Amino acid sequence: MALLTEYDVVNMRFKEPKRADEGYDQDEVDYFLDEVAETIAHLTREKNELTEKLQAAEARITELENAGEATPDVAVPVASAADSTLPQAAVVQENAENATGVLALAQKLHDEYVANGKAESERLIAEAEVECNRIRKETEENRSRTVAKLEEERSVMEHKISELRDFERDYRTRLKSYLESLLNNVNSQNPQGSDI
């Protein structure tokens, strides 16, 4: 799997579900989350490697500082003892300048690594917040659509129930009238109430 970029995360779109109650495709979401996890793991490993390199550089700087502090103490008495030690003092001076240069370079690298790490961390957090807001917004929109659809269906059902009740009442009234008219016909044909 290739590492995700900010563009990949921000512009990721899952297939719309066929129905609102189904949700997104579980496999597609799982695959995307696996890619996100792999990218985070890679960045974490890279950060740990840079931290180890930084610690090694700091240890080397400390070592060089200690060596630089010890060397001038030894070099000063030798330099004052005879003129033949002047080249050796120049070498010690050059070594001190080299150590200072290495120290400055190590400090610069340290600052760059820390700044890059902070920038990457802020970028990842910003991307995650954007994705979180997008997912929240989509979820809220889906919920609103679903609630509106259910309300509409409820209204239609209530209307149908009302129509059916009206129909039942009307049907009962007409059936009662029809039965009463039949009974009146039977009674009018048989006025004495004798059996037919």
- Report helix, strand or coil for 47: helix
Q: How far is CA 168 from CA 60, 172, 175, 176, 194, in A?
A: 95, 6, 10, 12, 35
Output the pLDDT for position 79. 44
CA distance 166 to 148: 27
Contacts of 21 (CB under 8 A, 6+ apart): 146
Output the pLDDT for position 89. 56
CA distance 123 to 190: 99
CA distance 145 to 22: 13
Q: Are 146 and 20 in contact (CB under 8 A)?
A: yes
Structure tokens at 52: 């180890």
Number of H helices, E strands in the chain: 3, 0
Backbone CA torsion sign across 124, 126, 131, 133: positive
Residues of the chain below pLDDT 70: 1, 69-99, 102-103, 191-196
Output the pLDDT for position 34. 85
DSSP tag of 82:
-
Output the pLDDT for position 23. 79
Output the pLDDT for position 4. 72
* Nearest residue to 186 (alpha-carbon basis) of 176, 194, 174: 194
Q: Are 24 and 14 in contact (CB under 8 A)?
A: yes
